[in-house]
Amino acid sequence: VVTPVNAGVSSVRHAAAHRRSIRAFSADPVPRADMESILRTTGMAPSAFNLQPWRFVVVQSPDRIAALVDAAYGQRQVASAPAVIVLYTDTADAIATVDEVLHPDLTPERRERARASAQRALADMPDAEREEWGARQAYIALGYLLLAAEDHGYHTSPMLGFDAGSVKALLNLPAHVHVPALVAIGHGSEEGRPHHRHPIDRIVRFA
């Protein structure tokens, strides 16, 4: 039995218990080192075939954030945020660069098999299915991102309410990518609402 490295350390529990959506931010910027640390943790999320199809654009320029407000139907959390993370997926890039993500410990034969099964799984998928596949992986990363930001002392607001075409045009993203979420991030200037969640016996059955 291998003991998990962080057994007994409660930082994930703490972050999950304390994070909440915050929709108003102070103007304090998010230093690049913090942003990189948060996104490094985010990138540790697992994904099918380890393909890691998630990509991020960190938007900090006031002009671009103003344009994102329009793309996000005027949502106030975008207007006051010092930064907005655009989470998008590029499954075409992921599959074309699969060599980068095959584990270096694999033998040449296993490497070839892993490459073939990853490419087979995605190659024949219709576009809509591929979009869905990418989004499934991306939402795992989104969960990591929200907890990592909280752990670094930042507040966040995840969003699905935006026009993806406008976001892609604003950031010159290629036509084939998809945008599963935006995340406003910064230091909150409001308390937000405490969690209101189902109790465990409402959502869990031990069988």
Residues lying near ligand FMN in the complex (CB under 6 A): 20-21, 75, 158-161, 181, 192-193, 195
Cβ 175 to ligand FMN, closest distance in Å? Answer: 23
Tokens of 10: 């409660």
For 71, residues 6+ apart whose C-beta sits below 8 A from its C-beta are 162, 163, 166, 167, 170
**Residue 23 vs 55, nearer CB to ligand FMN:** 23
Q: Which residues of 51-64 are buried (b: 16+ CB within 10 A; e: fewer)?
A: bbbbbbbbbeeeee
Residue with tokens 């969003």: 159
Nearest-Å Rg of the Cα atoms of the chain is 19
Spatial separation of the C-alpha atoms in residues 164 and 77, rounded to whole Å? 17
Cβ 192 to ligand FMN, closest distance in Å? Answer: 6
51 contacts 98 by C-beta, under 8 angstroms: yes
**Among candidate residues 183, 189, 185, the one with its CA nearest the CA of residue 152:** 185
Q: Which residue is nearest to ligand FMN (CB)?
A: 161
Spatial separation of the C-alpha atoms in residues 44 and 50, rounded to whole Å? 10
**Residue 82 vs 180, nearer CB to ligand FMN:** 180
Cβ 133 to ligand FMN, closest distance in Å? Answer: 17
Cβ 46 to ligand FMN, closest distance in Å? Answer: 19
